[in-house]
């Protein structure tokens, strides 16, 4: 995952353009079944319109001696995203109106965009900015804004035993930002490769698209798939330091909310579960009131809460392979929790059934050996009245979900439980 991230890092991505195509072409090497969609600029999408396609080849600011004092070739964060093409001489005062820097982080280049408002500009470290003392500068922005272009997104569907779907969504629109957005993308790739090898009850749909407009376009084009979504996660910021943070879906008590909370609880490390907020990543599009899909957002330290966020410090060195591996393991566990969740009915509900003669209970009483196993059996028998899912039992019993899953299979094999429905 980290090698893939390092390979994708130099590409100048945006919400449209060849950078997204290059990125998805590389992803397609890992996921051969990935389908790449092109949606023409000007296409209506809910309350939005697909924007013109933006591509950039070069951008610079030269001093009077002809030296590049700001150079897109040195770092693609140096140009304001969606800058209009421009060439000529400007005064220092005019240039200052189009410069973006961080006085509190003087050595870092900020990431700034102007997708929907015509503009041009450059981003640079504040130390660089303080050294711009000439009275005039030559600027060049070799970009195109093509009304005949398109928006590009990728989609991968892994069919399961049922048509009910789990949606995994990540954004692929940021240039040279490793934790935001590439960490979520490479974890999604790792998850898809793992799921492709596993038996699946659910159908899994992966969407790799530009932030905000990508999910809006996908929602507008896929009403049939939207109706089949039962659970979903937006994956982002999964490679930097910091504890896991889960933002609940708009429903707040959906099965995905229960599953992530239980997996985080059982995993043991510090974590935080936050309530729904109509701001953030694409979960706010999936959770808009007209759709109200059960889609939460999983990250480590959330956006805006670490100093490297949206700056040139968000490099592949900032993303740690161990954190990527831990994030993948967590998302795998969440998928396993969804796959295994069932609602059971106790087939011997009058009094406690004799477990010993069925080989499910220890032979000698009085000790604590196998206490968790015994409690798993007893909790399942007690709560399996045809309304409680395994997730609900795990939450009330404070027992690990995998243990309850094994206990449920044992009770089912002994004729004491019967599955009556999928979970949730």
**310 assigned ligand-binding residue:** yes
**180 assigned ligand-binding residue:** yes
- Tell me which H or E stretch contains 296: strand 295-299
Does residue 207 contact residue 233 with C-beta atoms inside 8 Å?
no
**104 assigned ligand-binding residue:** no
* C-alpha to C-alpha distance for 253 and 18, rounded to whole angstroms: 40
Residue at token pair 């503009």:
119
Q: Are strands 122-123 and 99-100 parallel, antiparallel or unpaired?
A: parallel
- Using CA atoms, how far residue 216 sits from 47, 49, 114, 223, 282, in Å, is 9, 10, 18, 12, 9
User: Hey, CA dihedral for 317, 318, 324, 325, is it positive or negative?
Assistant: positive
* C-alpha to C-alpha distance for 125 and 130, rounded to whole angstroms: 9
* C-alpha to C-alpha distance for 224 and 228, rounded to whole angstroms: 7
Count of other CB atoms within 10 angstroms of residue 99: 18
Does residue 33 contact residue 210 with C-beta atoms inside 8 Å?
no
- Residue 181: name the closest of 34, 327, 303 by CA: 303
* C-alpha to C-alpha distance for 145 and 118, rounded to whole angstroms: 10
103 class by beta-carbon count within 10 Å (0-12 exposed, 13-18 middle, 19+ buried): exposed
339 class by beta-carbon count within 10 Å (0-12 exposed, 13-18 middle, 19+ buried): buried
C-alpha angle 248-292-34 in degrees, rounded to nearest 5: 85
Residue spans of alpha helices (H) in 210-356: 213-221, 223-228, 255-267, 283-286, 321-340
* C-alpha to C-alpha distance for 234 and 286, rounded to whole angstroms: 10
Query: Annotated binding site for Zn(2+): which residue ranges?
Result: 174, 180, 310
Query: Annotated binding site: which residue ranges?
Result: 174, 180, 310
């Amino acid at each position: 995952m980290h090698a893939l991230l390092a390979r994708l890092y130099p590409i100048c991505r945006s919400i449209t353009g060849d950078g997204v195509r290059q990125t998805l072409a590389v992803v397609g090497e890992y996921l051969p079944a990935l389908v790449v969609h092109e949606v023409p600029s000007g296409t209506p999408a809910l309350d939005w319109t697909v924007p013109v396609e933006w591509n950039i080849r070069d951008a610079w600011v030269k001093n009077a001696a002809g030296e590049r004092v700001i150079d897109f070739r040195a770092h693609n964060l140096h140009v304001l995203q969606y800058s209009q093409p421009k060439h000529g001489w400007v005064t220092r005062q005019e240039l200052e109106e189009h410069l973006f820097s961080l006085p509190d982080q003087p050595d870092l280049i900020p990431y700034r965009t102007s997708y929907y408002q015509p503009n041009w500009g450059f981003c640079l470290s504040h130390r660089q900015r303080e050294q711009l003392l000439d009275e005039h500068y030559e600027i060049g922005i070799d970009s195109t804004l093509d009304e005949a272009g398109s928006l590009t997104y990728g989609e991968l569907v892994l069919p399961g035993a049922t048509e009910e779907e789990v949606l995994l969504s990540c954004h692929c629109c940021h240039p040279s930002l490793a934790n935001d957005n590439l960490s979520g993308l490479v974890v999604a790739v790792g998850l898809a490769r793992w799921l492709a090898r596993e038996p699946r009850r659910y159908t899994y749909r992966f969407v790799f698209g530009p932030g905000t407009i990508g999910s809006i376009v996908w929602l507008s084009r896929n009403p049939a798939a939207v109706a089949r979504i039962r659970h979903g996660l937006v994956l982002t910021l999964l490679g930097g330091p910091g504890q896991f943070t889960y933002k609940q879906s708009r429903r707040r008590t959906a099965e995905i909310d229960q599953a992530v909370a239980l997996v985080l609880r059982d995993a043991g490390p510090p974590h935080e579960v936050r309530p729904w907020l109509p701001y953030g990543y694409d979960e706010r599009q999936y959770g808009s009131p007209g759709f109200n899909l059960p889609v939460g957002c999983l990250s480590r330290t959330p956006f805006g809460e670490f100093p490297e966020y949206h700056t040139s410090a968000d490099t592949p060195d900032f993303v740690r392979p161990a954190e990527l591996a831990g994030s993948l393991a967590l998302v795998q566990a969440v998928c396993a929790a969804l796959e295994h969740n069932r609602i059971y009915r106790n087939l011997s509900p009058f009094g406690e059934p004799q477990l010993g003669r069925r080989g499910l209970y220890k032979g000698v009483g009085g000790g604590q050996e196998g206490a968790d196993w015994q409690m798993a059996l007893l909790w399942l028998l007690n709560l399996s009245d045809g309304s409680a899912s395994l997730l609900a039992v795990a939450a009330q019993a404070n027992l690990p979900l995998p243990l309850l899953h094994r206990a449920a299979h044992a009770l089912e094999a002994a004729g004491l439980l019967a599955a009556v429905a999928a979970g949730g």
